Structure 1
């Protein structure tokens, strides 16, 4: 690619300006920045893969105003806007069946913000949500150029690396619970729950024993990391995903002959006791609390479950107070802190122990933005899963078994995201908004291929 003289002149002026500034050490970075912009211009999908790869490492830059993910995201958005204006990228790529739900959701969200109990908190919430909205648009524009197999591998490897760090070092644990490079063990468990189906796909469809060994190691690290998080919700979501995998690959069970049954029983006899012995005692106790809950355990026996019950009570009161527009985005912690639950469950008077989120994205949105916005958000989750399942069925009808398998595992990851939002407040999670957009892209591709085949 031949660089125009104007671009070289701009690069020179920028370098001279940095040399004369208090940060002369940044001058060489202009060359790297220009190289990065050119790479993004030629391969925008690489930028989205880079953002996905950096999600598990966000904790490394939590105190920094400028992070790698923000820089890549802003640069990618700029590149895509330029390509749209120059007609190098068709605007039709922005079409999605999610817009009919997202646009009304944004309307109710903004109305709730305008009438919020605390506009400052709501504006901060909007700023974090804006990241998800931008990623949604970016994914629509570059999703057709995205290599799905590479996406699965990038997610699996990046999360597995942080799992290895959390398992091998106590630095990445808090109160005995692994949190990786993030602030919350449950957020870390969400990443693992999303990555496990994708790592399983890479294992089942890899060629050569070295590749299988690599993905088997990644899968083992992910499962070990999940046990270290002590996340009960993570276990529930993970078991749901694995159950779907067993149903999808049930045809493979037909290859098991009666002479193999003894080896299967022997493997289970060795694996199950070993897994029980390797599980941390704290994790076993937290799992047992779920059984006690079914028998009528009270919040006094498990403080975490008692807190979650209090979130439902406070959220229900907020919904009854303003069912149409809610109390305002991001205001749940403000309302919770004024209740007796905040003081009752707080180990000390720190603000972080009093101003708590709902730990349930759906409850939080219903109470903060109203019932219509909450229903629209839930409908977007359901539609995304339906899009992926519809695309899977179309590829199966076309005889594209391997691509259908990939859609199955992406559906499992989407289901894991949707279920995990019941236990975590993360309406702005990057994985979520990427998957919402990607689902409509994949369905559109499958339907287009089906029409071409029938024509």
Structure 2
């Protein structure tokens, strides 16, 4: 404990120095920092849970150079580096099958950066991506001690709170669409789709009626927030993940008796009209546009027209630079020079010409090249496979609760991977945390001895 004591002594001297300085009011902050460092040193998993809980609230710090997640993440990274250096954390925890894809992805990323069309933009993109990479390493190091039930509770509660804020205040809406504390309604819908499977798990696992009622209300708030975003992609992703959940619990459906079916049908007859009535008229119109795939409909729907133009521009970029792409973050530069940018920026500000692809996979393939794109897709696919293997190992040990947990985490991770087709978010924090967590959960499940099986 020599290192921690030296740090405590150093922070104590800082407090004394601040008290003697012209800024004595900063001294309590140093004391709070001292307590935070001590807590993170003893319980680094709490730091990761803190980051998870703060992600939906990052909008509060958008005008600040140092957000809550960055502060906790930087502190946690330094503490873990120290613990690795003095061998308090075994380096074997960094073992993951994701590295085989991630290392080569980063090699191609750096080569694409050297060959970029704009070095300044690419370096900014690298700085943003580095946050995700740091969270990936942090999760590998502390994931084994992570309380997954608390993880699900924090995600559900934090996203539900932001949903409630958007439902009762126009301040958190963008042109009538709920965006929470984020700048994009689809990015907010991504958080909701990620949280819903965890909220449903809490409803199923709750020990009593009051707890089930609380988490059930949270789930309803999440669904209400999804309707306020008017995100068509969010509705599609949420529907697919719920189908997977029904398939997982198909054995429970055999317990339904004819009398239960009647009550269920009555509930649907009441709930469906109420849901349609509660949906904003604009959301219903946007959903109806998905059923019409003619060229005329695309031209009438500005959003679908823009997305089609992204695919055209991205495909051209891939043909021009198939190996290394045009450089990280350079898609908006290429899009701004096309006629599509001018056509879809009528009555908008000049900066609106520079648009991202709103599709992470298309953006990576066009900016980094086909090999890097395949590696990125391979990483996410391997993450889903890890959760499938972890669930299979739990089923073999008849650990049904853990298998349910793996299923719901898989639903949440699948929601993220599907949403990346509708959103440019390669540095989304939940993506990198979950990617590392998949390999940790698989290793834990496969290393668990058979004698720990639950009857």
The 5 A counterparts of 1:183-332 are 183-293=183-293, 295-332=294-331
Q: Is the 8 A contact 1:200 1:219 kept in 2?
A: yes
Q: Is the 8 A contact 1:298 1:306 kept in 2?
A: no
Match of residue 38 from structure 1? 38
The separation in 1 between residues aligned to 2:8 and 2:80, in whole angstroms, is 21
| TM-score of the superposed pair, with normalisation by structure 1 | 0.97
The separation in 1 between residues aligned to 2:278 and 2:90, in whole angstroms, is 53
Give the Å deviation of 1:299: 2.9
Match of residue 94 from structure 1? 94
Render the CA deviation track for 1:10-61: whole Å, top value 9, x for unaligned.
Answer: 2343124334556432121111101100000000000000000000000010
Q: Is the 8 A contact 2:321 2:369 kept in 1?
A: yes
The separation in 2 between residues aligned to 1:5 and 1:322, in whole angstroms, is 54
Match of residue 380 from structure 2? 381
Give the direction of change, closer, same or farther, for the CA distance of 1:347–1:148 in structure 2 (3 Å limit).
same
The separation in 2 between residues aligned to 1:222 and 1:378, in whole angstroms, is 28
The separation in 2 between residues aligned to 1:149 and 1:180, in whole angstroms, is 25
Moved more, 261-270 or 372-381: 261-270
Match of residue 169 from structure 1? 169
The separation in 2 between residues aligned to 1:383 and 1:47, in whole angstroms, is 26
Give the direction of change, closer, same or farther, for the CA distance of 1:107–1:21 in structure 2 (3 Å limit).
farther
Match of residue 104 from structure 1? 104
The separation in 2 between residues aligned to 1:114 and 1:381, in whole angstroms, is 25
Match of residue 449 from structure 1? 448
The separation in 2 between residues aligned to 1:311 and 1:438, in whole angstroms, is 32
Render the CA deviation track for 1:128-163: whole Å, top value 9, x for unaligned.
Answer: 000000000000000000011111111000000000
Q: What secondary structure is seen at the aligned counterpart in 2 of 1:423?
A: coil
The separation in 2 between residues aligned to 1:256 and 1:131, in whole angstroms, is 47
Q: What secondary structure is seen at the aligned counterpart in 2 of 1:292?
A: coil
Give the direction of change, closer, same or farther, for the CA distance of 1:128–1:248 in structure 2 (3 Å limit).
same
Give the Å deviation of 1:266: 1.1
**Which sections of structure 1, spanning at least 5 residues, go unmatched?**
none
Moved more, 410-419 or 266-275: 266-275
Render the CA deviation track for 1:342-371: whole Å, top value 9, x for unaligned.
Answer: 000003352431000000000000000000
Give the direction of change, closer, same or farther, for the CA distance of 1:349–1:388 in structure 2 (3 Å limit).
same
Q: Is the 8 A contact 1:417 1:432 kept in 2?
A: yes
Q: Is the 8 A contact 2:8 2:34 kept in 1?
A: no
The separation in 2 between residues aligned to 1:23 and 1:435, in whole angstroms, is 41
Give the direction of change, closer, same or farther, for the CA distance of 1:2–1:127 in structure 2 (3 Å limit).
closer
The 5 A counterparts of 1:403-442 are 403-442=402-441
The separation in 2 between residues aligned to 1:20 and 1:124, in whole angstroms, is 39
Q: Is the 8 A contact 1:394 1:450 kept in 2?
A: no
Q: Is the 8 A contact 1:391 1:442 kept in 2?
A: yes
Q: What secondary structure is seen at the aligned counterpart in 2 of 1:27?
A: helix
**Which sections of structure 2, spanning at least 5 residues, go unmatched?**
none
Give the direction of change, closer, same or farther, for the CA distance of 1:351–1:45 in structure 2 (3 Å limit).
farther
Give the direction of change, closer, same or farther, for the CA distance of 1:310–1:279 in structure 2 (3 Å limit).
same
Q: Is the 8 A contact 1:347 1:353 kept in 2?
A: no
Render the CA deviation track for 1:414-436: whole Å, top value 9, x for unaligned.
Answer: 11001000000000000000010
The separation in 2 between residues aligned to 1:35 and 1:75, in whole angstroms, is 12
Q: What secondary structure is seen at the aligned counterpart in 2 of 1:151?
A: helix
Give the Å deviation of 1:264: 1.7
Moved more, 110-119 or 241-250: 241-250
Q: What secondary structure is seen at the aligned counterpart in 1 of 2:292?
A: helix
Q: Is the 8 A contact 1:361 1:424 kept in 2?
A: yes
Moved more, 254-263 or 320-329: 254-263
Q: Is the 8 A contact 2:104 2:375 kept in 1?
A: yes
Give the direction of change, closer, same or farther, for the CA distance of 1:143–1:6 in structure 2 (3 Å limit).
closer
Q: Is the 8 A contact 1:359 1:424 kept in 2?
A: yes
Give the direction of change, closer, same or farther, for the CA distance of 1:6–1:373 in structure 2 (3 Å limit).
closer
Q: What secondary structure is seen at the aligned counterpart in 2 of 1:299?
A: helix
Give the direction of change, closer, same or farther, for the CA distance of 1:397–1:176 in structure 2 (3 Å limit).
same
Give the Å deviation of 1:450: 4.7
Match of residue 391 from structure 1? 390
Q: Is the 8 A contact 1:122 1:328 kept in 2?
A: yes
The separation in 2 between residues aligned to 1:320 and 1:358, in whole angstroms, is 16
Give aligned pairs, total.
453
Q: Is the 8 A contact 1:163 1:180 kept in 2?
A: yes
Match of residue 361 from structure 2? 362
The separation in 2 between residues aligned to 1:96 and 1:316, in whole angstroms, is 33
